[in-house]
């Protein structure tokens, strides 16, 4: 075979055995299909839990900054170390100008996690500027009908981010590890004859802000062998009155810790208020503190579920 023809044959063979390019890829984001012709290189994530999802996938080098943290929450050491080289572009929800000023090409956010329905920053308002948006799955309930959340929602977000950024293997390995962690918790607590009644206390004294049927704490509580006493509230996070909390008599109260009012102050408020003295959780001092980043969709959910399961079923440990 002539040398030229041999070289051509070898080139064709190499082309036929080379791996296919990862892009373009199309992922489902709430009620939209979003196509990425190339992996984003100037990404921004809003809120601590979404930033940590990016960090878990080691995508810091694809980010130009983050938003929506210091206006409400304090960075812990894990997150501070992960984003040490990245600027916080806005302490709360970013404006469109903030995203354009950073020359962003990707925004990872959610409804009420950096975007508001009808606001100036939405997938539609950003599309004409070449900024593509991936929406946190838990938040999709604000714009469409969806089923109750499960931990698969968080896993789906990680896997979709893996596809978007061309790190599918990394995402798949991460999710496989999280699934094993969940399975270990399920085995440890064993068969549950009756789920433990749990109330999630986020904030508020006159009326409590809590997680309803569509918030990720519902999925976490169920994975830990409990039931959210506000499971019939057709919201993700919402304000309710104290009357149904007292009537439903939670056995355990999950305190979400963030903001100016500390978890200890929230617990003291419930202990000292005569209206709550007959609630089982208050009588038996069964409070579980979850940091905000643990109680919203993200990598820390799995360890938080394990800790919650220990608190709900101490005799099974």
- Is pLDDT above 60 for 6? no
Res. 75: pLDDT tops 80: no
Q: Which of 68-72, 122-126, 167-171, 282-286 has the lowest mean pLDDT?
A: 68-72
Higher per-residue pLDDT: 222 or 20: 222
**Antiparallel, parallel or unpaired: β 237-239 and 209-211:** antiparallel
User: Looking at the structure, do residues 137 and 36 belong to the same domain, yes or no?
Assistant: yes
Looking at the structure of the chain, the number of domains it has is 2
Q: Which residues contact 293 (CB under 8 A, 6 or more apart)?
A: 48, 49, 52, 73, 76, 79, 300
Q: What is the arithmetic mean of pLDDT over 275-279?
A: 97
- Contact predicate 275/242, CB 8 Å: yes
pTM above threshold 0.85: yes
Q: Is the pLDDT of residue 138 over 50?
A: yes
CATH label of the domain that carries residue 298? 3.40.50.1980
The reply to whether 161 and 26 lie within a common domain is yes
Same domain, 304 and 156: no
* pLDDT (mean) for 217-242: 97
pLDDT given at position 76: 73
Interval 196-211 mean pLDDT: 97
How far is it, in rounded angstroms, from Cα 257 to Cα 138? 20
- Answer whether residue 20 shows pLDDT above 50: no
Do the domain assignments include residue 7?
A: no
Question: How many CB atoms are closer than 10 A to CB 203?
Answer: 16
Give the range of the structural domain holding residue 297, as residue numbers without chain letter.
190-316
**Which region among 133-142, 185-194, 251-260, 303-312 has the lowest average model confidence (pLDDT)?**
185-194
Rounding to the nearest 10 degrees, give the CA dihedral for residues 51, 52, 56, 60.
Answer: 40
Do 195 and 298 lie in one domain? The reply is: yes
Q: What are phi and psi of 295, to 5 degrees?
A: -95, 5
Helix, strand or coil, per DSSP, at residue 139: helix
Kindly state whether residue 137 falls inside one of the protein's structural domains. yes
Measure the CA–CA gap between 99 and 259, rounded to whole angstroms: 25
Closest-CA residue to 196 (of 159, 153, 155, 250): 250
């Amino acid at each position: 075979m002539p040398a030229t023809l041999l070289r051509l044959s070898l080139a064709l063979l190499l082309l036929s055995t080379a791996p296919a390019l990862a892009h373009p890829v199309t992922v489902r984001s709430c009620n939209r299909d979003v196509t990425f012709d190339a992996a984003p290189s100037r990404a921004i994530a809003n809120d601590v839990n979404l930033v940590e999802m990016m960090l878990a996938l080691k995508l810091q080098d694809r980010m130009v900054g983050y938003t929506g943290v210091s206006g409400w929450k304090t960075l812990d050491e894990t997150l501070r170390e992960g984003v040490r080289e990245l600027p916080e572009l806005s302490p709360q929800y970013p404006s469109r100008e903030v995203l354009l000023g950073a020359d962003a090409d990707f925004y990872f956010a959610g409804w009420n996690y950096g975007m508001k329905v009808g606001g100036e920053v939405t997938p539609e308002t950003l599309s004409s500027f070449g900024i593509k948006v991936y929406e946190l799955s838990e938040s999709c309930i604000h714009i469409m009908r969806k089923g109750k959340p499960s931990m698969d929602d968080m896993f789906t977000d990680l896997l979709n981010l893996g596809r978007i950024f061309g790190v599918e293997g990394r995402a798949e390995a991460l999710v496989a590890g999280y699934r094993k962690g969940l399975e270990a918790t399920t085995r440890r607590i064993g068969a549950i004859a009756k789920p433990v009644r749990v109330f999630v206390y986020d904030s508020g004294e006159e009326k409590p802000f809590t997680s309803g049927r569509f918030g990720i704490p519902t999925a976490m509580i169920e994975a830990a062998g409990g039931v959210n006493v506000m499971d019939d509230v057709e919201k993700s996070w919402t304000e309710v009155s104290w009357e149904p909390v007292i009537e439903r008599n939670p056995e355990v109260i999950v305190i979400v810790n963030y903001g100016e009012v500390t978890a200890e102050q929230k617990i003291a408020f419930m202990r000292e208020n005569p209206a709550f003295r007959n609630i089982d959780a208050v009588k038996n001092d069964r409070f579980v503190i979850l940091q905000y980043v643990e109680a919203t969709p993200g990598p820390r959910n799995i360890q938080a579920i394990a800790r919650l399961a220990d608190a709900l079923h101490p005799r099974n440990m």
